[in-house]
Amino acid sequence: MRKGLILFALLVSSLCICQPVIEIKLDRADATYVCETEAVFTVTIKADKDKPDLLSDGTATIRLTNDGLDNINSHQLDLSHGNPFTIKGKMEKPGFLSLQVSLPGAKTQIYGAAFEPLKIKPAADIPEDFESFWHGEIEKAEAIPLDLQMTPWTEGVPAEFIAHKVSFAAPNGRVYGFISRPKAEGQFPAIFSVPGAGPGQSAPQYRKDHVTMVMNVHTYDPAIPGKTIKESYDDVNYGGMYMYKNIPDRSKTYMHRAIIGINRSLNWLADQPYVAKGKIGYYGSSQGGAFGLILGGLNKNLRAIASNVPAMCDHLGYREGRLAGWPQYCRQMKNAPEIESMAQYYDAANFARFIDVPIRVIVGFADRTCSPSSVYAAYNVIPSKSKLIVDEIGMGHEWGQSFNKAINWMIDLIQ
Which CATH number is 353's domain given? Answer: 3.40.50.1820
Of 98, 119, 140, which one is at a domain's C-terminal end? 119
Q: Are residues 140 and 85 in the same domain?
A: no
Q: What is the DSSP letter of 148?
A: -
Quick one: three-class SS letters along 365-381?
CCCCCCCHHHHHHHHCC
Over the stretch 232-271, which tens digit does the pLDDT of each residue have? 999 999 999 999 999 999 999 999 999 999 999 999 999 9
Final residue in a domain of this structure, among 58, 90, 119: 119
Same domain, 329 and 290: yes
Evaluate the CA torsion angle 258, 259, 260, 261 in order and state its sign. positive
The torsion angles phi and psi of 258, rounded to 5 degrees, stand at -60, -45
Long-range pairs for 26-30 at CB < 8 Å and ≥24 separation? 26/111, 26/113, 26/393, 28/113, 30/391, 30/393
Whole-angstrom distance, CA of residue 21 vs CA of residue 79: 13
The enclosing domain of 91 has a CATH number of 2.60.40.1930
What would the pLDDT profile of 389-403 be if each residue is shown by its tens digit? 999 999 999 999 999
Q: Are residues 111 and 152 in the same domain?
A: no
DSSP string, 197-259: SSS---S----TT-EEEEE-SSSS-TT-TT--HHHHHHHHTTTS-GGGTTTT-TTTSHHHHHH
Distance of CA 60 to the CA centre of its chain: 30
Between CA 343 and CA 354 the distance in angstroms is 18
Residue 49 lies in a domain: yes
Q: Is 37 left (phi over 0), alpha (psi -120 to 50) or beta?
A: beta
Residues of the domain holding 90: 19-119
Q: Are 118 and 380 in contact (CB under 8 A)?
A: yes
pLDDT in tens, 137-172: 999 999 999 999 999 999 999 999 999 999 999 999
pLDDT at 363: 99
pLDDT at 6: 47
136 and 47 assigned to the same domain = no
- Taking only the tens place, the pLDDT of each residue in 207-229 is 999 999 999 999 999 999 999 99
* CB neighbourhood size of 119 (10 A): 12
pLDDT 10s digits, 33-64: 999 999 999 999 999 888 888 998 999 999 99
Domain count, the chain: 2
pLDDT value of position 36: 97
Asked if pLDDT for residue 384 goes beyond 60, the answer is: yes
Asked if residue 347 is part of any domain, the answer here is yes
Q: What is the dihedral of CA 7, 13, 17, 19, to 10 degrees?
A: -170
Q: What are the pLDDT digits (tens) for 76-121? A: 999 999 999 999 999 999 999 999 999 999 999 999 999 999 999 9
Cα–Cα dist 258/170, whole Å: 8
Which of residues 100, 119, 138 is at a domain's end? 119
Is 51 inside any structural domain? yes
Residue percentage of the chain with pLDDT more than 90? 92
- Asked whether the predicted pLDDT for residue 405 surpasses 90, the reply is yes
Burial 258-267 (b: 16+ CB within 10 A, else e): bbbbbbbbbb
For 124-138, what is each residue's pLDDT tens digit?
999 999 999 999 999
